[in-house]
Chains A and B, each alone.
Chain A
Amino acid sequence: MAKKLEINRRLILKGAGFSVALPFLEAMLPFSRPSLAADATTPRYLNFFMPNGCIVGDWKPGQAWLSPLNSLNGKYSVIQGLQNDVIAEKTTGEHCHGVSSFLTGKPLRSGNNIFNAKSADQYIADYLYNKTKQSGKRILNIARQGQGSNEDGFSGVYTGSLSWQSANSVAQKYTSTSAAFNFLFDGVPRGEQRGEDKKITNIEKEKIKTASLSRLDFIKDSLVNLKKNLSHTDKIRMDEYESSIRDLERKIANTPTDEVIPGDIIRNCPAGASPPSSNNDLTSYTKVMMDIIALALQCNQTQVVTYLMYPSFKGGSENYGGRSLGHHNLSHYQNESNKRDLRHIYKWYIGNIAYLMNKLDSVQEAGGSILDNSFLIFGAGLGDGSLLRSLGGHRMIELPILLAGGGAGTLTPNKHYKFQGESLGNFHYTCMKKIGLTASNFNGYQKTLNF
């Protein structure tokens, strides 16, 4: 099997280079293969965010637009009645909160100094990364766009960021398919073979390691003088930089010589040198991202994925499965035809989720399929946006949430949970506990929900 894979990669390295995204990914790693997860029951935590909320009453099993999930019955639960306490009442900056506090449960600060809290995915990523001592990536954070629009004095940073590393620091994110791919699979310059193919001896590896460490020594030394001549705030930047250099130094020093390859730590997954390409239109972009996510999970390159599938509060029309529609405008629907278009968009989202779920369910590992070992959350951070009803305008109540996967044995899918205004924060807290985190609360939320 391994040999066959290698031939595939060589072929691609040699000739194609610009093959279409999907055939390439599938050729690289047929999904009949078992996953490369080291640990028998490594849970995966996957978050998919849809902007602009959902028509009230629409979020329940049996709706036609949920039909892409039909073949996956028994693999997911529909959750109703969660709310984000931050804006359960009408206030300002709803879209900002809808995105940025979706995984934090915290109110945001308006003005120039952004302020939120560390998000659930980041807590879980830290926990799983430390627990499994992975050589892969701690988290893959994807967003369709870098920044969104400002709203009511709240920064556009909020409408474009789900994942927060700390209160004032947005997590590193990838917006292009090729950048995400290279981040996960350590793309090397085109046309070159990957380090592990070169059969580097341990003597050479040791040499590479020593050279890396000397370089970092030079940088640390030169920072001493550089910092003397910097203004106060610039110096703070350089302190951060310096401490990251020290972390890197420690990591390289602790890497066993065997595992050293030029530029980075070795990977065991046969991903190649040529990143996938996609048109930038929303439909093909999303599909390629889903392929990348599936491959990354199968290759155990990461265990946590956060994906802001579209920025909230963005005007303009996009390609939703061949139709040109503007989600935000439509979300303030005023009549039946708006609702039909909105449901077309919902179905498009669900179709993408189902596409990924099917892929993950086809890969077997200890304890079932990858899907069985996953917490796959799909949801929106806002409620109904209708202009026709006085309660409309996107309060953060009645949030549509889909919880798919078996949670490595901790979830019982195929349910329909109806909560009565429980906090989204408590939902996250419960997931965190099921994954194994032992904190007594999550950003102040400490109630365990029954699911």
Chain B
Amino acid sequence: MFKKIFAILLLIFCYQNCGEFRSSSYESTTNEFSSAPLIEKNCTDTTGNLPKIELSILNKDEYNNTVNDLFGVKTNPADNLPTPVTGHYDTNNSKVKFNLEQIELYHKLSTQVSAEALRINPNLFNCTSNLSEKNCADFQIKKLGKKVFRKELANSEHSGLLKLYEDGRNKNNESHKEAMANVLTALLTAPQFLYKIVTSKSNSNLDRLDSFELATRLSYFIWSSTPDDRLLDLATSGELKKAETLSNEVKRMLKDTRSKSLAKRFFYQWLEMDKFEDLFFDQATQPLFTARLKSDLMKETLTFFEKLIENNAPVRDIILANYSYLNSNLTKHYKINDHGSNSFIKTALSKDRKGVISHGSLLAKTSHAKETSIILRGVMVLNEFLCQNIPPPPDTPMDENPDVVDTKVGRAEHRASVRECSICHKSIDPIGFGLESYSQLGVFRTSENNKPITTIGKLRDGSSFSTISELSESIAANKYFSKCFSKNLTAYAIGRDINNFDRCFIDNSSIIIEQNKGISELIIQIVQSPLFQTRTK
């Protein structure tokens, strides 16, 4: 009875016309990548057409990390800003419009941050005795300005800040400390701090970033935070622009704990983990889905990605890893030999699990409480791992009577038999069937609601599979996987959506994945690419 009711809750719409929809815009194109064999190409032809990276304001995480790294402010003050409309990744935060309401919020934020910075370090603006107060102020302004603006202060900025200080000191009865605090607040309110500014000093349409802009783009990509002293020093000397130095810096930065932000932010957004965080299964239906299990499952996936970076593992491990990071609670949940530890440690998986596709978090977010969903799971694999974007189902009423067709296989067969449905579902459903071996909570199973499950499926390229291992191998071997991952990471890195003119560069960087090199090599390739290093008007 219940099964029947909830079976109906599955999406049973047909997609009006996958093909037609896809051709309407690049974003929705299925075969967006060329099928030519992967060899490194010369992309200079397209460089002139690269889209502009819009001027982007620090997003909440970037702001919070930045004031923490600069001053030790740990209150996450930017969490109180309104929620912006962003691009696909929130590194593209270019749509914030300034008006009085908006500037008041930022104005208040900068007074709060500078007060908090001084509360944490009351000696922040102490002068050493051998400097006159004016020289001390001058020194502090230069040093502070460079750190906060992530570049050497321009002469006009320097003199303006000095004037601000002196006016405060001489005309407004401020102490040295008060006047410097006011300078700090001004720096934090200025667009040079709030925005990741890219200037265009020459008249040419295409230019390389200057070394400070490069340091900024690099550190916000890998750390989601401001460049540290070393990066600023390398930018000052111009050394950072040398390819070898840059590669070494990437490696250094990836070893730093701040690179955990890639797991927390890039991988989280790529796999839409917010859907897992919002997921609610009622206790009556899923008594095992406790707050603890939910948080452990999330931790498993985030730890997996943190370790992927830390260990410089190949990108294909995302799909092919025969290990995961589990605590005792999860080994029991997955019915794997319990290692007895409460920490998330590297654990070999049994044969019936492989890669993140077998993580409970991903499997749960693509399930309904009463039943798994072959459609949601199939769409997840296509959209997120293969960039074969399936349009959302149109709200077109469909003549299907679920009272007649009430089994998963029966409904899938129906979708396959109706042309309008099969256009999309012939790609979606077989993948979903391949994941039927996992319950809503990611536990291996052989039946659902006392009926045996069907797990045989195939990918559009014709490869068929009957186990998770075979499905994972099909995905990893699929030519779209490496390009798709590279596309996503690049979009995150540069803070704009990827477009036709970028394909050549994306193809080039995806070779790294095909060669099974460590993820740091891919990140270096992206950072060295003109997509990352140039600016267009």
Contact = CB atoms under 8 A, between A and B. Distances in A.
Given A152-B394, A215-B164, A316-B365, A247 B103 contact: yes
B54 to A, nearest CB: 7
Interface stretch (B79-87, B225-233, B340-348, B486-494): B79-87
Interface in A150-165: 150-153, 157, 160-161, 165
B9 A215 contact: no
B280 interface: yes
Most chain B beta carbons < 10 A, residue from A143, A147, A189, A324: A324
Contacts of B208: none
Interface stretch (B168-176, B295-303, B311-319, B457-465): B168-176
A211 B392 contact: no
Given A179-B83, A211-B174, A172 B102 contact: yes
A193 interface: no
A416 interface: no
B395 A385 contact: yes
B403 interface: yes
Interface stretch (B186-194, B431-439, B502-510): B186-194
A315 B111 CA distance: 41
Nearest to B365: A316
B209 to A, nearest CB: 13
Contacts of B190: 218-219, 222
Interface stretch (B41-49, B153-161, B352-360): B153-161
Contact of B200 (A172, A230, A386): A230
Contacts of B82: 172-174, 179, 183
A240 B397 CA distance: 45
B182 interface: yes
A218 B112 contact: no
A347 interface: no
A210 B402 contact: no
Interface string A328-346: 0110101101100000000
Contacts of B173: 207
Interface in B67-112: 75, 77, 79-86, 94, 97-105, 107-108, 111-112
A237 B97 CA distance: 8
A175 B197 contact: no
A315 B9 CA distance: 11
B36 interface: no
Nearest to A203: B173
B7 to A, nearest CB: 11
Contact of B397 (A172, A175, A392): A392
B239 interface: no
Contact of B192 (A226, A234, A245, A319): A226
Classify chain A's interface size: 35 or more
Nearest to A394: B395
A281 B280 contact: yes
Interface string A220-243: 011111100111111001101101
Contacts of B281: 317, 324
B100 A251 contact: yes
Given A176-B83, A179-B82, A390-B397, A230 B199 contact: yes
A132 interface: no
B185 interface: yes
A335 B80 CA distance: 44
Interface in A197-217: 207, 210-212, 214-217
A243 B97 CA distance: 11
Contacts of B115: 189, 262
B290 to A, nearest CB: 13
A225 B398 CA distance: 61
Contacts of A229: 199-201
A315 B104 contact: no
Contacts of B172: 207, 210-211, 214
A222 B157 contact: yes
A396 B403 CA distance: 29
B537 interface: yes
A331 B489 CA distance: 36
B182 A211 contact: yes
Given A146-B85, A315-B376, A215 B186 contact: yes
Contacts of A174: 82-83
Contacts of B411: none
A222 B197 CA distance: 13
B395 A231 contact: no
A393 interface: yes
Contact of A211 (B160, B168, B282): B168
A233 B54 CA distance: 8
A13 interface: no
A82 B178 CA distance: 60
A280 B278 contact: yes
A153 B104 contact: no
B271 interface: no
Given A172-B82, A207-B173, A280 B199 contact: no
Interface string A238-266: 10110111011001000000000011100
Contacts of B403: 335
Contacts of B397: 332, 386-390, 392-393
Contacts of B86: 146-147
A317 B402 contact: no
A153 B156 contact: no
Contact of B11 (A95, A315, A392): A315
A247 B100 contact: yes
Interface string A101-135: 00000000001000000000000000000000000
Contacts of B24: 153
A394 B395 CA distance: 8
A428 interface: no
**B54, B101, B275, B281: most-surrounded residue (chain A CB, <10 A):** B101
A324 B398 contact: no
Given A186-B108, A219-B190, 10 more contacts: A138-B101, A189-B116, A214-B164, A221-B160, A222-B160, A237-B195, A247-B103, A264-B104, A324-B285, A334-B402
Q: Which 7 A-B pairs have the closest CB atoms?
A: A229-B199, A244-B103, A215-B186, A182-B80, A319-B280, A244-B98, A247-B100
